[in-house]
Structure 1
Amino acid sequence: MIAAPAAGFAASCTTQSALTPEDRGTLASLGEQLSDAVLRQDTSALQTVLLPSLAGQWDGIRGAVEQAAPLVKGGKVQLRNVYLLDATTLTAPSDTQFFCSNANGSMTVTISMHALPPGKYAVLLSDAAGSPLAGQMGFVLAWDTTGASGWKLGGFSARQGAFDGHDGVWYWTRARELAHSNLPWAAWYCYDAARYLELPVDFLSSPNLDKLIQEQSQIKGGPSEDTFPYSVTSGDRTWKIDGIRLDASLHEPDLGVTYESTGTGDPAVARTEAIAVLGALLKAQPGLRENFHGMWAYASTNGKVTPVMELPMAQIP
């Protein structure tokens, strides 16, 4: 239900301020209860309100809840947004967009759902306020009519809201500074970091995010899709880098670098090759070293990608 952005049939959305007091109270209370269950890692409480049709997907949802533990640790639940979605006019599962406007219509948030069945849904966003990683959570609820009518859990995701105490706004500001300083690659991935930190879900877009993406697209000399494969050289060796992306696996602002490897099976040789590739990339784009924590090396051989290692910037020559 929450796997990928989509476009298509437009249905109706009611924002938190426009909800009836009854709906607002019910959804806010449920959002706080679900968020608190994540903070307490009470997966049993979450399983009891799972949408029956998703019983076979419980292991994946439980895994997402468990992975959220370090993100929300030490925080206190703070509800951010509630959106009530009405897709009852659908006649079959459909890629569906909901346009959620505030009271005066000055701002519209777009929620995009893939292959959404007809029905009523809600999206709840909350924060673990005060947690070191500024954890943020997103829940998808569905109105269940198979038994006793009520809201049931249809999806969950979580994401940290800060790297080393710096939130998305900080990275957005930093990206602008780097773009003006003629460091387009560092600016590009700082924009990626800002977008990553802004929301716990990928199926929601806002005017701010649209503005961020537009700014990023206007960077001259940045790593667009046409940049790759990107060649780097060290000594008499040249490697092709197939892609670079933000990698928050260690809850740090790392960059994941996928390169075309010689395919050696010797771990020591693979490590030496990875260090050479990462070092050559940093020499070609020195702005990356100063603005990110480290790099992951992913070796690609005959279409198979294998993680080799992660190194802090200070350990890459």
Structure 2
Amino acid sequence: MRLSKQWAPALISCGLLCGFLAPSATQAATCTSQAEMQAADRDTLATAAQRLSVAVIQQDPGTLQAALLPAVAQQWDSIRGAVEQGAPAVKGGQPQINAMYLLDASANTAASDTQFFCSNTEGSMTVTITLGNLPPGKYAVIQSYVMGAAAGGSAPGIVAQVTFILGLDGNAWKLGGVFIRPAMLGGHDGVWYWQRARELARADSPWAAYFAYQAARYLLLPVDFISSPNLEKLDQEQAAIKNAPAFPYSVNAGDRSFKIDNVHFDASLREADLGINYESTGVTDPAAQRTEATAVMSAFLKAQPVLRQSFHGLWAYALINGKATPVMELPMNQIR
């Protein structure tokens, strides 16, 4: 199987922040869920997933590199970097397969955006997997939990989610991508953030509710190219928030007004942070950049004070000539 140059890099995980986003699919193919697989296929995929999961947890780059699809071999540095970034989330854990999907795009005549509808045996629930610019072939998506001790010494539970994309190369399943996400942020899981979002929405705190929904989605959805009815319900609730964030949004810091072009959920430090993209005055001195960023963050929290109680901190991204540059991150208690 040969992967197109356009598709191959898209399989590579970019660590805790990056998912595999695809445009709207133009073709459909077949999906076989775990319960409906032939025993031989199920056992083969489970064995491959177990071996790769252990390699991720043990930070064993040799095993992962040896398992790469030939077409993504040149992307090894990106995969290794993603696995290293995910090390704190999976350290000391034990893998447990959660779901497996066998995807058949052999009927594709060329690389195309492809959507797979994966229904359970009863047909009562359908998971949708959307992959962009996918070449003809057979693939698998395997989701694993990493079980370990939760923060604070409580009973063991899910500490991370690891998702693999595999491609069939000859008679062997090879690694096309790996995605790692923590199962908790700030000691709370996705269900907690979902419940918190509902509470904030009822309390007429639309900004805090909106981003609590984003936090819930990040933790409950192992990758961005999979959707399910449960997550669709979350999206519907988020879309129903009245007076939800709208941009551009202006804040005043002293005698100066700053335009915020975007606010987004940011888990790059494995904390529930928010990132602010603001239009900078163009200062380039590092000290002046930090002063400006601090002023913007302070003004933003004065305009939206409920965010202090709901999130860990803020990232400031300065926009200069359309290019966003991260300036700093501060916990909420350090922003005056």
Please state which band the TM-score falls in when normalised by the shorter chain. Answer: over 0.9
Partner of 2:16: none
Deviation of the 1:86 alpha carbon: 0.8
2:221 and 2:231 in contact (8 A); partners too: no
Deviation of the 1:132 alpha carbon: 4.4
C-alpha distance in 2 between matches for 1:176 and 1:302: 38
Deviation of the 1:83 alpha carbon: 0.4
Deviation of the 1:202 alpha carbon: 1.2
Amino acid at match of 1:272: T
C-alpha distance in 1 between matches for 2:281 and 2:210: 29
TM-score (norm 2): 0.90
Matched, 1:296 2:315: yes
CA offsets 1:176-228 (integer angstroms, 9 cap, x no match): 000000000000000000011113311111111111111100000111xxx21
Deviation of the 1:53 alpha carbon: 1.7
1:35-74 residue pairs with structure 2 within 5 A?
A: 35-74=53-92
Q: 2:102 aligns with which of 77, 84, 87?
A: 84
**SS at 2:108's partner residue?**
coil
**SS at 1:189's partner residue?**
helix
C-alpha distance in 1 between matches for 2:82 and 2:93: 18
Partner of 1:278: 297
Higher mean alpha-carbon deviation, 117-126 vs 231-240, is at: 231-240
C-alpha distance in 1 between matches for 2:119 and 2:95: 25
Partner of 1:253: 272
TM-score (norm 1): 0.95
Partner of 1:269: 288
Partner of 2:3: none
C-alpha distance in 1 between matches for 2:53 and 2:43: 15
C-alpha distance in 2 between matches for 1:268 and 1:48: 46
Higher mean alpha-carbon deviation, 263-272 vs 90-99, is at: 263-272
Amino acid at match of 1:313: M
Deviation of the 1:164 alpha carbon: 2.1
1:71 and 1:131 in contact (8 A); partners too: no
C-alpha distance in 2 between matches for 1:35 and 1:199: 18
**SS at 1:135's partner residue?**
strand
1:168 and 1:193 in contact (8 A); partners too: yes
C-alpha distance in 2 between matches for 1:172 and 1:122: 29
C-alpha distance in 2 between matches for 1:46 and 1:33: 9
Amino acid at match of 1:248: A
Partner of 2:123: 105
Deviation of the 1:4 alpha carbon: 2.0
Partner of 2:202: 180
Partner of 1:21: 39
**SS at 1:137's partner residue?**
strand
Higher mean alpha-carbon deviation, 173-182 vs 133-142, is at: 133-142
For the aligned residue pairs, the C-alpha RMSD in angstroms reads 1.2
C-alpha distance in 1 between matches for 2:106 and 2:324: 43
Deviation of the 1:251 alpha carbon: 0.6
C-alpha distance in 2 between matches for 1:180 and 1:259: 29
Q: Where in structure 1 do 4 or more consecutive aligned residues deviate above 3 Å?
A: none
Higher mean alpha-carbon deviation, 186-195 vs 151-160, is at: 151-160
1:136 and 1:199 in contact (8 A); partners too: no
CA offsets 1:248-277 (integer angstroms, 9 cap, x no match): 111100111111111112222222221111
Deviation of the 1:90 alpha carbon: 0.9
Deviation of the 1:47 alpha carbon: 1.2
Deviation of the 1:131 alpha carbon: 5.2
**SS at 1:262's partner residue?**
coil
Matched, 1:235 2:254: yes
C-alpha distance in 1 between matches for 2:89 and 2:221: 13
2:186 and 2:312 in contact (8 A); partners too: no
Deviation of the 1:51 alpha carbon: 0.8
Number of residue equivalences: 311
CA offsets 1:41-92 (integer angstroms, 9 cap, x no match): 1111011111112111111111111111111012111111000011111111
Partner of 1:138: 163
Q: 1:118 aligns with which of 128, 136, 139?
A: 136
C-alpha distance in 2 between matches for 1:109 and 1:275: 43
1:184-195 residue pairs with structure 2 within 5 A?
A: 184-195=206-217
Matched, 1:163 2:185: yes
Amino acid at match of 1:5: A
Amino acid at match of 1:15: S
**SS at 1:44's partner residue?**
helix
2:67 and 2:174 in contact (8 A); partners too: yes
C-alpha distance in 2 between matches for 1:93 and 1:246: 32
2:312 and 2:331 in contact (8 A); partners too: yes
C-alpha distance in 1 between matches for 2:227 and 2:149: 25
C-alpha distance in 2 between matches for 1:155 and 1:132: 27
Deviation of the 1:300 alpha carbon: 1.1
C-alpha distance in 2 between matches for 1:258 and 1:15: 40
